[in-house]
Amino acid sequence: MRRLGLLSPGTKLHRLLSMGRPDGYDLHKEMGDVFVTISPAGLTLIVADPKVVAYVNSKRSEFPKPPNTGAIINIYGRNVTSTDGDVWRFHRRVTGPVFSERIHRVVWQESMNQAHLMMQSWLPSTDREPDSVRIPSFGDDILHLGLNVITGAAYGYPLGWNENPPCASSTSLSYHASVEQLTAHIMSIFLTPRWLLRLARRESTWGRAWEAYDAFGGYMRGMLNRERGHLHAGDNREDNLLTALIRAEEMADEKEGRSMEPHEVTGNAFIFLFAGHETTANSLHYTMILLAQRPDMQQHFLDEVDEVYDRAALEGRDQLEYELDFNRAGFTLAIMLETLRLYSPLSLINKWTATDQPITFEGQTYVIPQGTRISVNATGIHSNPKVWGDNAREWEPSRWIIEGGNGITPLITPQPSRSSSPMRRRSSDILEKDSPSPSPLSPSAPLLTPFSVLEQYSPSRMLSRSSSVCSATSSGAMSPPVSPSVIVKPAKGTFLPFSEGARACSGKKFATVQFVAVLFTLFREHRVELEEGWSVERVKGVLRGRKAGALTLQPPESIPLRFVRR
Residue 495 has pLDDT above 60, yes or no: yes
Query: Where residue 418 falls among pLDDT bands split at 50, 70, 90?
Result: very low
* Minimum mean pLDDT range among 117-121, 127-131, 280-284, 287-291: 127-131
> Does some domain include residue 43?
no
> Is the CA virtual torsion 378, 380, 386, 392 positive or negative?
positive
By DSSP bridging, strand 486-488 and strand 401-402 are antiparallel
Q: Is the pLDDT of residue 483 over 70?
A: no
Neighbours of 265 (CB within 10 A): 25
Give the residue ranges of the annotated binding site: 505
**Binding residue positions for heme:** 505
* pLDDT of 348 over the 70 cut: yes
> What gap in Å lies between CA 320 and CA 326, rounded to an integer?
8
pLDDT number for residue 370: 95
Give the closest residue to 514 by CA, choosing from 280, 340, 342, 241. 280
Q: Read off φ and ψ for residue 375, nearest 5 degrees.
A: -110, 105
As for how many domains the chain has, the answer is: 1
Q: Which residues contact 2 (CB under 8 A, 6 or more apart)?
A: none
Q: 509 lies in a domain?
A: yes
CATH code for position 274: 1.10.630.10
In a domain, 494, yes or no: yes
CB atoms within 10 A of CB 131: 10
Q: Say what the pLDDT of residue 21 is.
A: 55
CB 46 within 8 A of CB 12: no
Handedness of CA 221, 222, 226, 227 (dihedral sign): negative
Tell whether 124 is covered by a domain: yes
At 51, the pLDDT band (50, 70, 90 cuts) reads very high
**How confident is the prediction for the chain on average, in pLDDT?**
81
* Stated pTM of the model: 0.83
Torsion, CA 176, CA 516, CA 383, CA 444, rounded to 10? 130
Q: Which residue has the higher pLDDT, 117 or 4?
A: 117
Q: What's the confidence (pLDDT) of residue 427?
A: 35
C-alpha separations of 47 from 32, 170, 362, 446, 453 in Å: 9, 48, 13, 19, 24
Element (H, E) at 117: helix 101-122
Percent of the chain predicted with pLDDT > 70? 79
Question: Does some domain include residue 190?
Answer: no
Q: Is 13 within a domain?
A: no
> What's the half-sphere exposure (Cβ side, CA atoms, 13 Å) at 82?
19
**Distance (Å, rounded) from C-alpha 73 to C-alpha 69?**
9
- The model's confidence at residue 503, banded by pLDDT at 50, 70 and 90, is confident
Q: What is the span of the domain harbouring residue 151? A: 70-156+240-346+391-401+485-565
Rounded to an integer, what distance in angstroms lies between the CA atom of residue 560 and that of residue 122?
A: 13
Q: What is the pLDDT of residues 168-190, one digit of tens each?
A: 999 999 999 999 999 889 999 99
CB 463 within 8 A of CB 481: yes
Evaluate whether residue 463 is within a structural domain.
no
Question: pLDDT band at residue 453, thresholds of 50, 70 and 90?
Answer: very low
What local confidence, expressed as pLDDT, does residue 539 receive? 85
Quick check: is 505 in a domain? yes
pLDDT at 505 exceeding the cut of 90: no
Give the model's pLDDT for residue 324. 95
3-state SS track over 337-364 = HHHHHHCCCCCEEEEECCCCEEEEECCE
Q: How far apart are CA 223 and CA 150, in angstroms?
A: 13
Task: Please determine, for residue 466, whether its predicted confidence score (pLDDT) is greater than 90.
Answer: no
In tens, the pLDDT along 472-481 reads 233 333 333 4
Q: What does the pLDDT read at residue 487? A: 83
Region 86-90 average pLDDT: 91
